[in-house]
Structure 1
């Protein structure tokens, strides 16, 4: 018999405005969203995947918001409970997690395929002969998953599953699969003061008949649970989404959960995870929660912004926050573009503080294994999203700030090379370069966040041509220069104390390498100061 209906069962992990953690049903998350602080899964990719599911649900419940005016009404009044109740009544049978004719986000035609352990849903667990950084379990260990955890990972696997070999839907069938959509970009989310604000800040104007939010949206756009039939078991090599909600609920895998009851509770004790539907579209044409940069050359190729180990997301501040100066140069997330438009229309206060979060997953060279998860945050004022259009040279200024950090980071790595070349002995360069990187990059994160916060205040207090505003902006970027300079020197000092050694030759070579570094650092900061003065009009 069907069990665990996700519209009424408690499975979504939320934090209340009082800081308490709770599990709520899908329906109750929306009913109480204005009293909730945020959604918080057990891993960054779970949080990202569940937010995308909630956005799809919001768009389909309201069949919009189809205009900026409708968006503003939702922002003021909260969820339309009448629409929510009607939608739940109409689609209740599509949200059964286990059993039934069309279990949620699954393929019932896989019923005859022998299931693997439930750990195949958990991307941090080892599966078969794949190893991960997080787990060393084997398939002989078959832990059961509570139904709520299985539901969360079901949604996460559809978005973030690794590539590699999966269970074929029939003997001799296709085993290979590509990594899920979420692995190819950093998922960008603007977070407000409550969960409802967060959902609305990322809810684009949704009008499929009008081709919004993206030109590729069609009138036939719908969520996976709204399709007339669930996907069949056969994988699809290439398909084009019908629109934004179709993409948010893309069935990259064919999955079927197996369950049992124990001590009065329902558990998932096995799962079939088979190849599903592969996207046949360019990401920039269909994805609204990612930033894109144009690759060099004549051909129009756009690379999505991704998170990197150690080097913070702040390095991509211009890509994430600012509009491009030239058409086709790059594209910030469509969701952020729409928030900037709402600020222009005075539906949002430009002084409002929000948090920009970016979620990501990096796979190893072995496509079936996870290298790391990332979740990074930057506090910003909404004024930053439109400051470039009002005359502030933020793209140039922030670009120079990031370029300085990158150039100094390169010089730090070159310091190790210079020492190694002078020493002419066996030497683990990677170990030394990693030591320097760990003492440099993470220590820039908080200072850049402060820079963005102060810039947000600045652009709301001054006009772009204000002498006082220009002088204050110079001071902010000079503060950043001092922090980069100090951090780099401290990293080199720590390296000298830790590694090179005390023989006369080693002392000579480390002194030479340090001198070269300090000379390069002075040159870089001189150029930076000149350009900052130029961009601030002095």
Structure 2
């Protein structure tokens, strides 16, 4: 009997980084990204949308783990001396199982009870729904002349690729007209904004330069700190256009703009995530 799939974003390599020593781009875990940030020049995904989404996710994690910076003096201390490792490791241990992409009860940044049986399973779709620049199965891709418009797509993703697309989609996807079982969000938090990020001499400096003074940390919550999303909570969430507003910076950085559940499928070539199950667009 096969064991349930698991892919913990704190421990599994999935974030592409460019090492300072000139080695090729490689993938690292979220934990290693933060703890070894001085050894990387930057997060470096081929998609700038994915790169920015991963930066925002990392900033949200740092804000929540460190509950700061409380002021510019603390920000300067972290810039010079590094982040407090013990505090970070303790936080990672506390929330570890909330970072599993395929957790049966609390899948990371997803709606846990979207199932293949939901209203006849008609909401199942291809992973390209989460990639703005790759185009979905029935649309022309944007900025991707090699993409295949229309038709039935069956190409697969690895869990690492799926995690990156999930971060991109929750950060940047536009609102849609598909109502289905809940009203669609008008758009992801920064779908229509121009973004800038200060860049340091290495990834640690870049993270520090973009960790602005963090107020309201007692009321703020990141997606993994909230109760797991369910179909019912999503319905209530959007029943009045938007029944809630972000409680703080980390909540905004990890806002659930789409109802998604990643469904892993084993293909004949030996694995990989082939399709996913989104809900309202």
For this structure pair, what is the TM-score category when the shorter chain's length is used for normalisation?
Answer: 0.7 to 0.9
- 1:27 alignment counterpart: 31
The aligned counterpart of 1:3 is 6
Asked whether the equivalents of residues 14 and 39 of structure 1 are also in contact (C-alpha less than 8 Å), the reply is yes
CA-to-partner distance for each residue in 1:393-417, whole Å, 9 max, x for gaps?
Answer: xxxxxxxxxxxxxxxxxxxxxxxxx
Q: Which has the higher contact order (CA 8 A, sep 6+)?
A: 2
Hey, which of these two has a bigger chunk of strand by percent?
A: 1
CA distance in 2 between partners of 1:139 and 1:80 (Å): 51
Contact 1:17 1:37 in 2 (8 A): yes
Aligned residue for 1:58, secondary structure, equals helix
- Which has the higher Rg, Structure 1 or Structure 2? 1
Q: 1:156 maps to which residue?
A: 168
Contact 1:10 1:23 in 2 (8 A): yes
Indicate conservation of the 8 Å contact 2:138/2:149, yes or no: no
Give the corresponding residue for 1:96.
100
Quote the residue 2:273 is aligned against. Answer: 268
**Which residue number corresponds to residue 116 of structure 1?**
125
Shift of 1:263: 7.5
Contact 1:163 1:179 in 2 (8 A): yes
Compute the RMSD of aligned alpha carbons.
2.1
Structure ranking higher in helix proportion: 1
Aligned 1:238-249 pairs, distance under 5 A: 238=242, 239-249=244-254
CA contact (8 A) 2:60 2:253 kept: yes
TM-score (normalizing by structure 2)? 0.86
Task: Indicate the residue corresponding to 1:17 in structure 2.
Answer: 20
Please tell me whether the aligned partners of residues 189 and 252 of structure 2 are also in contact (alpha carbons under 8 angstroms): no
- Structure 2 SS opposite 1:189: coil
Contact 1:167 1:272 in 2 (8 A): no
Deviations 1:347-366 (Å, cap 9, x if unpaired)? xxxxxxxxxxxxxxxxxxxx
- Mapped pair 1:251 → 2:260: no
Matches of 2:265 and 2:179, distance apart in 1: 21
Q: 1:228 Cα shift? A: 2.9
Deviation sequence 1:42-76 (CA, Å, 0-9, x none): 21111111110010011111111112222122111
Structure 2 stretches of 5 or more lacking a match? none
Partner of 1:80: 84
**Number of residue pairs aligned between Structure 1 and Structure 2:** 263
The runs of at least 4 consecutive aligned structure 1 residues that moved more than 4 Å come to: 262-266
Cα 1:174–1:233 change in 2 (3 A) is closer
Partner of 2:136: 127
Q: Distance in 1 between matches of 2:6 and 2:193?
A: 35
Instruction: Quickly say closer, same or farther: Cα 1:263–1:31, change in 2 above 3 A.
Output: farther
**SS in structure 1 of the partner of residue 274 of structure 2:** strand
- Rounded to whole Å, the distance in 2 between the matches of 1:22 and 1:227 is 31
User: Which runs of 5 or more structure 1 residues have no equivalent in the other structure?
Assistant: 210-218, 277-538
Q: TM-score, normalised by structure 1?
A: 0.46
- Partner-residue secondary structure (3-state), 1:186: coil
Checking the alignment, whether the CA contact within 8 Å between 2:114 and 2:277 is kept in structure 1 is yes
